[in-house]
Chains A and B, each alone.
Chain A
């Protein structure tokens, strides 16, 4: 079985992003970029599945300009076998991404496509579900435990009510939640080795992907600021402040 893992290049999660002063977007020039943390978790899980002998090959894929090759190389250094870049300019909305990954699914016929549950830039949380819909296969989203046996995956999902377990027939789309695992660190020799691993480049046009837009960003703004707070000196003062606000 092959596992396809999708990696999105995003602003590193430690960076405090700033909205451009003209409201045209978020400042990304000269900002540290990384693999979306949820995608890293998805890749880690795929690698563990392979290391248990339950998959033969792990393929990483990303959509974007040549800069996404950095993240693909990092994925290869973590242990993926090969990488696919689908080159695309501009804004790639989730449905376009899902249509693109469907083309890769048709080419590669993976048993599992593993995505992060959401990208920490657009916070959309859509692509995995959309791919599963277009592929007409099961989805197990927000996974925090995955067990494979007899062509099925048993997946514990983090839902509002607690932990839900579902069973899905493979092939299926899984999306990772934060607690699925702790991704490994990349070691220097692996980075050197990763440079020799195959990285193929395709394009949206070659794959004949129809772009899906329909949602236009009009403007960006910083979040509303909370009013300046104050420090109190004692529990008594805290209680009287809360009473004055009518909260106690």
Chain B
């Protein structure tokens, strides 16, 4: 019997959009029985949001003081216990265990997969059927179709940039479960420093304005922030701009940064290295502004403008 368990991502108060996108990936598998597990200190608020999502059968809440921070060593045995034995036939086991391929899902789920004793399918970008998936390899320069053997559970992360968020309209029942694992005591949260909390979230924004090395300095980035504000867009950056210290690293878009799929993406002063293009391949419309007409970014841009960005960007902002 096929049953899906999704491990919710949240900040203690709000269910992440990544979870709603993972749900869409799950629904594409054609399996009707989809549970969402919420691990939290107090899961009630997040559970209510999950219960409203269209297509959720049950929301399982696991409340424990340990879940203030998501530590993989604490959560992985918990997920294994909740996932149950897929071969038991008792209905207690899940055939599919899913998380979004955010840094949280990437950290936690492979640890759970190893405890379960299976390999993970990382970063599903398209669902063919309940055991067959497409995923990107070689920095998205190739796509492989993989099939998971019938005799093992599908443990997989879902590439959030490839799926729309599931809508509301559901009314799943909420069931509380006991924590089944213990704190191994060897891993402790210390602190987290967030970036600037202004404007929309880079991972989910419908418009993103990114700057590259050609911005020249962190002051040079001011025109990027200004244009983004005008467009109610999130700000992104290439690795070169991050490495040069112009912007904090959580703004990095690309293979080693965030993979995003906004409706509209502005690549400004970005040459378009393959590692950067990996991060934006699924964007709706790509606009490139660059002084080098030979820059590889123009090969993927839907609209390209060649010229001095320090003149063109303020002019563009003025005409919006």
* 8 Å CB contact of B138 from A17, A131, A163, A231: A17
* 8 Å CB contact of B248 from A19, A162, A165, A219: A162
Interface size on B, as a range, is 35 or more
Report the bound CA distance from A172 to B73 in whole Å: 11
Interface of chain B, main secondary structure = mixed
Question: Which residues from chain A sit less than 8 Å from chain B, CB to CB?
Answer: 11, 13, 16-17, 19, 26, 93-95, 98, 120-127, 129-134, 136-142, 144, 154, 157-169, 172, 177-179, 212-224, 226-227, 229-236, 238-239, 241-242, 245, 247-248
If A162-B250, A229-B302 are given as contacts, then 17 extra A-B residue pairs at C-beta distance below 8 Å, sorted by A number, are: A11-B138, A17-B141, A124-B122, A129-B107, A129-B111, A133-B114, A154-B190, A160-B203, A163-B192, A163-B250, A166-B188, A217-B146, A220-B145, A221-B142, A226-B302, A232-B303, A235-B305
Does residue B306 face the partner (Cβ distance < 8 Å to A)?
yes
- Please indicate the chain A residues that have their CB under 8 angstroms from the CB of B248 in the complex: 162
Shortest beta-carbon distance, B237 to chain A, in Å?
Answer: 13
Question: Which residues from chain B sit less than 8 Å from chain A, CB to CB?
Answer: 71-73, 76, 102-104, 106-115, 117-123, 132, 136-149, 152, 184, 186-195, 203, 239, 242-243, 248-250, 255-256, 258, 263-264, 274-275, 281, 284-287, 293, 298-306, 312, 315-316, 319-320
- Please indicate the chain A residues that have their CB under 8 angstroms from the CB of B184 in the complex: 136, 138
Query: Do A121 and B303 contact each other (CB < 8 Å), given the known contacts A218-B146, A229-B298, A247-B264?
Result: no
- Please indicate the chain A residues that have their CB under 8 angstroms from the CB of B146 in the complex: 215-218
Among B137, B152, B315: residue with most chain A CB under 10 A: B137
- Please indicate the chain A residues that have their CB under 8 angstroms from the CB of B315 in the complex: 235
Shortest beta-carbon distance, A104 to chain B, in Å?
Answer: 16
- Contact: A166 with B189, CB < 8 Å? yes
- Contact: B255 with A130, CB < 8 Å? no
Shortest beta-carbon distance, B145 to chain A, in Å?
Answer: 4
List, sorted by A's number, 11 A–B pairs whose CB atoms are closer than 8 Å.
A13-B139, A125-B110, A126-B120, A130-B111, A133-B76, A162-B192, A167-B187, A167-B190, A215-B121, A226-B286, A239-B320
Shortest beta-carbon distance, A119 to chain B, in Å?
Answer: 10
- Contact: B141 with A16, CB < 8 Å? yes
- Please indicate the chain B residues that have their CB under 8 angstroms from the CB of A223 in the complex: 136, 140-143, 281
- Please indicate the chain B residues that have their CB under 8 angstroms from the CB of A168 in the complex: 186-188
- Contact: B141 with A95, CB < 8 Å? no
Shortest beta-carbon distance, A236 to chain B, in Å?
Answer: 7
- Contact: B120 with A238, CB < 8 Å? no
Shortest beta-carbon distance, A157 to chain B, in Å?
Answer: 8
Report the bound CA distance from A86 to B207 in whole Å: 48
- Please indicate the chain A residues that have their CB under 8 angstroms from the CB of B144 in the complex: 217-220
Shortest beta-carbon distance, A183 to chain B, in Å?
Answer: 14
Report the bound CA distance from A95 to B189 in whole Å: 27
- Please indicate the chain B residues that have their CB under 8 angstroms from the CB of A248 in the complex: 320
- Contact: A242 with B264, CB < 8 Å? yes
* 8 Å CB contact of A129 from B110, B137, B285, B306: B110
